[in-house]
Structure 1
């Protein structure tokens, strides 16, 4: 008996030595409670690389392309990236997730890197970059199309227009489709067709445990509801089916105005009258204004730039634009152009500043139906005061966006996790922008807080609301995901089902815990 016990102990000891010395170490349940201390970039490449498709790329800190693949629009408090994996096929993504889970390594999925969140610095792990997954397939009949998870706005606009179609996209050419889409997705076609999320039909999703599900009204409809407004919390969309629409016009008319500050009150009076509490014309799809420095006009005072985009010819837009002509702009630029050129002509094209990576952007936001003109004057004066005090912040913009809302309001408020269907048609934010410089951060954060406070003081009867795609990360959860108690309760119940370990907690999480 004693001999048998010693024999068993010897076998157990031999097995333990074998397990300790073996590489790699995998968890049987894919959910380890430890992180491997020897998990270097080289180890991951040697272990994970052979499991991925041939087209996949793994990039480490010593590679020449490292700076490029880790570059982000938001340089403030950046995530800590161990290495970057660019999957060559959708099927590679579950493999990556399972590997990360088996080694207790966090993962973060990136399309174009345009997150504005200020809390990304809490992430430390593998970046899954979707840049190689950009296929677009128009389905027979032309009612929907399939898009891979790495597609972006300008690419989608160009490809569909070439075949006679349009779709709901964001307004900025360089931003990925799915990032905004998972948070609702405002854009130029929302007045006619609703948000990006309203047009989602089917999603191929990788869940937190690495399993894959096809999400639609017929399969996991509860998850579809959550993905349409709070989707960053629930999974990785590797491809999606979206409704597309025949193009109705070949050209759009745009008009860009530049005004001096003495016209501010008159401009906002005209904008409020134009929108008339959400009854703006559908074809005036998008207009926005900016406080910004233009040294060719003034080196001491910000100008007010305002841009309008009309779905159709100038003749249809003219009666709505005449009041803005009469205000007396410093300059006007306008024209009729094919729809794919509208981002370039209105300041949100691929080569515009709004798409330039590598700068810090300290962001604060608000939403409203009516601009408080007194508050807008105070915010403008504060802008000049702050830039005089700190000239390195002269790239800062205060942006006031206005959308046609008819298509958004047509949807049921309870139909998706997006909570603000009937809550605003103006969306504003300040983006205090500068080359990375920690010495400026506190000054910028204080300016951001002062501006946000002025917006809120100017709208005292309106609970704060925050568009999740512009959220900084310090806002009350109810202001991001909705004040009706049932919304957060439902989202948290679904979170406990689909992501109980909080693997997707790095972008405005519904749990209230970043990272």
Structure 2
């Protein structure tokens, strides 16, 4: 479905595929990586252990560029061998095989990990793209999903059957990848984070053992997998809650474009609309964006704000009248089925957020409310930087305000996810076609300044970062919580379930050496 030309592209809970690996002292890691070879003998030996549905690809394969493509070019792992499991049992066999060879392994669902530590990997890739089946269980309350289940296929497939479930807002990623780091999305106001909807995980541990993980089976691992799961195992399949949805229902998506002079008034009204974590779940989210839109202004950034409402259009328009009264430059309005909402807020398959092999300079912070002074300073900085280097006009400064009623209905101490009281996600993104672009240092300084301004607007609070948006330079506390007991528990469980730190590439608890 085509997008209106003036509808901006939004960040909307960009979530990322899960990854795994191994770390030891750097000298030992180098020795292990040197032993990672894609020889015919190695491939034949592995093939003899796997199902006939499995696929093994080496660097000379015609599909090599496709199987190793990443969202972030500069955090490209070095893959010696790419293996696509044909069955869930294949995953455990691959892990055991890699362990016997003493070679690192790394699991990818869709390749959207941002964290810089991913780029240090060299070894065997376990590519879950062929394990993406899903089906509604007979109880019509839960559904079964394989670990590579693709968000856009899940959204469409469940909608066709009259159901919805939790997914990230970016349709080109997996379902479970973002869930292991929390999983923000449009369903969270009613039902919680995507991880809150999970009822069972089938997990392959670092030693190749397959276990079932839920509230009664390995309850300690159940706690850790929901929020820090990338550090503990490979989810080959899972069960998650689903909810009935009327297929004839439509959602209001109303997107405003404002001039810079309206910024303070817009922020005042957004804060009033959103409240402090009290936004009614009928409002799925609101998304703000600073971006150059030269059809509206050639000299300053446009302030875009999109609202998604699940009630009647008349009710939605009435609530948004204060924004109409601000005199927006333009307004786009659509009423669409849930299955295509993401397309209208920038998370669709053809959107900017799904384009691979770019070099990104990203930064993020979590907030509870918008500080007008900070938002003005960030806007003025944006315009200043674009005036200095106009070709960076594609830079996005994003803010995402979801309804959080469902998120706050779960206790923070019941899972590894520590950030339930963070109501707003932010995301800075400048992208380049080359890792050697001379403006990358300039963009990095701009990123750091922007993030500092976000944090400066809430000086009484310690920095926190949504795991799935983290670039890797953030502190462990910012990603996994500042409570001492929480980090101690994570470290203890890590030593118990992964004593050799084999899962250490995606926002690791114990980082690669």
Q: Please, what TM-score do these two structures have when normalized by structure 1?
A: 0.90
Q: Assess if the C-alpha contact under 8 Å between 1:278 and 1:405 holds in 2.
A: yes
User: What do you get for the CA RMSD once the two structures are aligned?
Assistant: 1.8
Matched, 1:92 2:83: no
Q: In 2, Cα distance between the equivalents of 1:58 and 1:76?
A: 25
Matched, 1:35 2:32: yes
Matched, 1:210 2:196: no
Deviation at 1:390, TM superposition (A): 2.8
Q: In 2, Cα distance between the equivalents of 1:312 and 1:275?
A: 16
Deviation at 1:34, TM superposition (A): 6.0
Q: Assess if the C-alpha contact under 8 Å between 2:37 and 2:81 holds in 1.
A: no
Q: Residues 25-68 of structure 1, C-alpha deviation per residue, up to 9 Å, x if partnerless?
A: xxxxxx99963856521243122122222222222222222112
The DSSP-based 3-state class of the residue aligned with 1:324 is helix
Q: In 2, Cα distance between the equivalents of 1:209 and 1:412?
A: 31
Higher alpha-carbon deviation: 219-228 or 303-312: 303-312
Q: In 2, Cα distance between the equivalents of 1:180 and 1:75?
A: 20
Q: In 2, Cα distance between the equivalents of 1:73 and 1:300?
A: 31
Q: In 1, Cα distance between the equivalents of 2:392 and 2:82?
A: 31
Cα distance change on mapping 1:58 and 1:390 into 2, 3 Å? farther
The DSSP-based 3-state class of the residue aligned with 1:41 is coil
Q: In 2, Cα distance between the equivalents of 1:131 and 1:265?
A: 45
Q: Assess if the C-alpha contact under 8 Å between 2:33 and 2:104 holds in 1.
A: no
What is the aligned partner in structure 1 of residue 446 from structure 2?
A: 447
Alignment of 1:55-134 (within 5 A): 55-134=53-132
Q: Residues 76-106 of structure 1, C-alpha deviation per residue, up to 9 Å, x if partnerless?
A: 2321221221111111111111111111211
What is the aligned partner in structure 2 of residue 381 from structure 1?
A: 380
Aligned residues: 483
Cα distance change on mapping 1:356 and 1:39 into 2, 3 Å? closer
Q: Assess if the C-alpha contact under 8 Å between 2:32 and 2:104 holds in 1.
A: no
Q: In 2, Cα distance between the equivalents of 1:177 and 1:291?
A: 28
Q: Residues 159-218 of structure 1, C-alpha deviation per residue, up to 9 Å, x if partnerless?
A: 111111111111111121111100110010101000111111000000001110010111
Match of 1:425 among 423, 426, 443: 423
Q: Assess if the C-alpha contact under 8 Å between 1:134 and 1:148 holds in 2.
A: yes
Structure 2 residues without counterparts, runs of 5 or longer:
1-27
What is the aligned partner in structure 2 of residue 21 from structure 1?
A: none
Larger RCO: Structure 1 or Structure 2 (Cα < 8 Å, ≥ 6 residues apart)?
2
The DSSP-based 3-state class of the residue aligned with 2:447 is helix
What is the aligned partner in structure 1 of residue 20 from structure 2?
A: none
What is the aligned partner in structure 1 of residue 478 from structure 2?
A: 479
Q: In 1, Cα distance between the equivalents of 2:492 and 2:390?
A: 48
Q: In 2, Cα distance between the equivalents of 1:32 and 1:64?
A: 29
What is the aligned partner in structure 2 of residue 488 from structure 1?
A: 487
Matched, 1:187 2:185: yes
The DSSP-based 3-state class of the residue aligned with 2:48 is helix
Q: Which has the larger Rg?
A: 1
Q: Please, what TM-score do these two structures have when normalized by structure 2?
A: 0.91
Q: In 2, Cα distance between the equivalents of 1:102 and 1:514?
A: 20
Higher alpha-carbon deviation: 491-500 or 103-112: 103-112
Matched, 1:469 2:468: yes
Cα distance change on mapping 1:328 and 1:228 into 2, 3 Å? same
Matched, 1:243 2:241: yes
What is the aligned partner in structure 2 of residue 200 from structure 1?
A: 198
The DSSP-based 3-state class of the residue aligned with 1:205 is strand
Q: Residues 363-412 of structure 1, C-alpha deviation per residue, up to 9 Å, x if partnerless?
A: 11111111111111111121222223233432210100000000010111
Cα distance change on mapping 1:427 and 1:46 into 2, 3 Å? same
Q: Assess if the C-alpha contact under 8 Å between 2:36 and 2:80 holds in 1.
A: no
Q: Assess if the C-alpha contact under 8 Å between 1:283 and 1:311 holds in 2.
A: yes
Deviation at 1:229, TM superposition (A): 0.4
The DSSP-based 3-state class of the residue aligned with 1:255 is strand
Alignment of 1:54-453 (within 5 A): 54-247=52-245, 250-421=249-420, 423-438=421-436, 439-453=438-452
Structure 1 residues without counterparts, runs of 5 or longer:
1-30
